[in-house]
Structure 1
Amino acid sequence: MNNKKYIVVIVMWTILLQLSGCGNSENNMEERTKTDSAENILTLNEEQLRMLEPSYTSATYRDMPKTMRFNGKVDILPEYITSVSHPLGGHITAIRVVPGQVFRKGEVLAVLEDYKYVQLQEDFLMAKAQLKTAERNYRRQQELNVNRASSDRVFENAEEEYNKLRIAIRSLEQKLILADLDPTSIAENNISRSTTITAPFNGMVSHISVQKGQYVNPSDILFELVNAQGLIIHIKVFEKDLPSIQNGQELTVYTNSHPDQPLKANIMTINHYIQEDGSADVYAKFQDSPYRLALGMYLNAVVTTYKHKTIVIPETSVVSYEDKSYVFERLRQNVFRLVPLEVVSTYEGYVEPGKSELLADMDIVDRGSYDLLMAMKNKGDTE
């Protein structure tokens, strides 16, 4: 009989402890509910819960990449900066570009005018006319010399004159090309007193040194052009982070104007000289030509170094509202709490949260979190 009493007592204590545990759990839920403002708590009725059908998840451990963030700006390789002058000079009659303008190869930058262009075309046409006469004389003297009807000296003089004119024409052709005049289009009824300066590549005008009406000499710089293919990233890396940086490493680059359009680059060189501020210069080359960037523009660069195991949650469970991130915690079957979330990093569909230990025991809404957010905001609008 005594044994039966002991068994009954033990069973009763077990039940009481379980009820106490449930009570503590309920109390914890109540405490969480009380500590949050009413606007962060959402209670659904049975019909709403059935319509939304949220699914649930919990925080898990996963390998996430370790990232480092750096500030930098757009720089350029020296060989991709071109100073433009004109080999003959002249008066500038038109300037077709402005500083900062993007241009395509062959586009007209400026128009120059000078009598030298007329003289050059005249010399070219005169030499071509003389060449025809010299060629006929050379052929005739060659035939006569074969038949011994003329002396070798006469034939040699004709040959020399013919070759001199051929050389002169080749030289004049190159001068015309340098002056941006097409030798094949020059004729006696098509002599121009002006020429153009055209873009030698696709790029951008960084500086204009002249103005309309100005006379320029062959040594004067008219434009400074930048080839976008030579744009690079110049970032400052502090000494403590330098061991994690290596050549060929990929960067993800963001601009302040287009943070939603990341660019890819690879580290091309590391200057291991540590400057007075404790940083070293690191340069990276863009994978594609970044035509929307400008020289000197400030950038943010993210480098992925290695992976570490940490607490993560599915990216689908995170909602954004007014530039802040949140998750929904299920407190009870139909009661949900909106919890602020700091996003440390995102990788392959998972989010690494800040203060991840706070999420360890949460029952987190996965699918349907945005529906809950809309329901919560609609509730606030109707109250």
Structure 2
Amino acid sequence: MKIHFYISILLLVLLFTNACQEKKPEKSSVKKQFFTEKSTPKTEEALSPDEEEITDDAIFTVSQAKFDEYGMKLGTASMQDVDESITAAGYIEVPNENKAEVRSYIGGYLQTTPLLPGDYVNKGQVIISLSNLEYIQLQQEYLQAKEELVYLKEVYERKKTLAEENITSINSRQQAESEYNIMKTNVEGLRKKLQLINIDPNKVNAENISSSINLYAPISGYITKVNAVKGKFAEPTDVIFEIINTDHLHLELKVYEKDILKVKKGQKIAFRIPEADSENYSGEVFLVGKTIDDADRTVSVHCHITKENKIPMVIGMYIEADIFVASHENFCVPVEALIREESRYYAFMNTSTGDDGYTFKKIHVEVGEINEDCIEITGKSRQQLEGKELLVEGAFNL
């Protein structure tokens, strides 16, 4: 039995040794395949990302019927004025004089108001009423002071006459004059208080004492805040309504410290509202701030919006803007002539034209400044495109 056991162990060792001595297979090299729109798959050595993007040109054939159907056009690159710009962000705002907060100089209990945020009000329009016993008391004090003033005036004039005739003393006349002047000041002060709470002193009489007052819109505009609950007592410090006039919207941009010296009054801007649409709107730099915000190292730039921009804007909307700080002439193509794939731009060069249609070669191009109408071509791409016929409209259909 032991002999069979040892023989079995020996056979296992021999098999294991033989397996270890077998030659391992060589790792096969992997070739990268890629396609063009017309060619069949071909094998090439793997390229770097940059080389692959530039050299992997695609060929497109477009029939004359499709060319006409899609409204495609051919053209060439040319020398054009290119605007140099810096990018900034900010928000839509209105001047401080176009904002108003409605309060009552003397507190009162709020009555019902039909107004809601978003409602438009005209300057001088009644927006809410308040009631308070203090309003009654103030009118009573005013009427009493007026009556007393009449009496003191008569006393003063009588003693003045008597003093002139040496019937009464000068001190008596002076005392009467002092009391009359004090009361006259008191009456005038009460008049001003009534005017501040929108009560006409000339209409106040014993038969016409009001327990409530009206608050009026100080400016025309839209209601943006309403803190009016029926029966609530509004203190003089409480803001009952907030009104904003949107007739003069402007932009408040934040420009970084490194760019601020390039920004000047009168420079044109193009801005967009990312959350609303992708259209560009125009404006102009009006004021450049003189201090730097320590928190983000930016300077405030106040810009006016071009009046032709008839677009619905909301106060506080976030905007992105390009400030055009300089201009130079360079080699450009229309914006429609290029398509963008990730971070690269491509053009379609016409390589042949025949009865059957057109053949285009898709080529990578280097770009510089991008304006609303044209894109600057830079580097080797300039020589590559110079004098060549390009697809300048309808490239997005390929």
Q: Normalising by structure 2, what TM-score?
A: 0.60
From 116, 119, 122, give the equivalent of 2:134: 116
Q: Deviations over 1:59-97 (max 9, x none)?
A: 321331112333332367889876543221010013354
Of 307, 322, 332, 1:312 maps to 332
Name the counterpart of 1:252: 270
Q: Which residue of 149, 152, 159 maps to 1:141? A: 159
Instruction: Find the partner of 1:282 among 290, 299, 320.
Output: 299
- 1:173 positional shift: 1.3
Name the counterpart of 2:370. 344
Structure 1 counterpart SS, 2:231: coil
Taking only the aligned residue pairs, the percentage that are identical comes to 21
Query: After superposition, what is the alpha-carbon deviation per residue over 1:82-120, rounded to whole angstroms, capped at 9, x for unaligned?
Result: 654322101001335433555444343421111211221
C-alpha distance in 2, partners of 1:146/1:303? Answer: 80
**In terms of mean alpha carbon deviation, does 169-178 or 211-220 score higher?**
211-220
Moved more, 87-96 or 56-65: 56-65
CA distance in structure 1 between the partners assigned to 2:92 and 2:306 by the alignment:
12
Paired with 1:158 and 1:243, the residues of 2 have a C-alpha distance of 69
Partner of 2:318: 298
Q: 2:178 aligns with which of 156, 160, 169?
A: 160
Larger radius of gyration: 2
Residue segments in structure 2 that go unaligned for 5+ positions in a row: 1-56, 338-346
Q: Is the 8 A contact 2:349 2:391 kept in 1?
A: yes
Contact 2:270 2:321 in 1 (8 A): yes
Does the CA-based 8 Å contact 1:40-1:338 persist in structure 2?
no
Cα distance in structure 2, aligned partners of 1:152 and 1:93: 55
The answer to whether the Cα contact below 8 Å between 1:74 and 1:295 also exists between their aligned partners in 2 is yes
Mapped contact 2:99–2:245 kept (Cα < 8 A):
yes
* C-alpha distance in structure 2 between counterparts of 1:327 and 1:165, whole Å: 91
Alignment length (residue pairs): 316
Q: 2:27 maps to what in 1?
A: none
Change (3 A) 1:285 1:199: farther
- Report the equivalent of 1:242: 259
Matched, 1:88 2:88: no
Give the superposition deviation at 1:314: 7.4
Structure 1, unaligned runs of 5 or more: 1-31, 45-54, 319-325, 378-383
Distance 1:144 1:273 in 2: 73
Residue aligning to 2:61: 36
Superposed CA deviations along residues 235-261 of structure 1, whole A, max 9, x for unmatched, are 45567x636643645533333547465
User: Judging changes above 3 Å, is the alpha-carbon distance between structure 1 residues 94 and 286 closer, same or farther for their aligned structure 2 residues?
Assistant: farther
1:301/1:230 CA distance change after superposition, 3 Å: same
SS in structure 2 opposite 1:95?
coil
CA distance in 2, matches of 1:299, 1:205: 23
Does residue 361 of structure 1 match 2:387? yes
When structure 1 is superposed on structure 2, of 230-239 and 189-198 the one drifting more is: 230-239
TM-score, length of structure 1 as denominator length: 0.62
Q: Aligned letter for 1:36? A: T
Distance of 2:145 and 2:306 partners within structure 1 = 46
SS in 2 for 1:35: strand
Q: Is the 8 A contact 1:67 1:302 kept in 2?
A: yes
> Is the 1:236–1:280 contact (alpha carbons within 8 Å) kept by the matching residues of 2?
no
Distance 1:335 1:145, change over 3 A: farther
User: Would you say the 8 A contact 1:128–1:169 is kept in 2?
Assistant: yes
Q: Out of 288, 298, 302, which is 1:268 matched to?
A: 288
CA distance in 2, matches of 1:124, 1:288: 50
- Corresponding residue SS for 1:200: coil
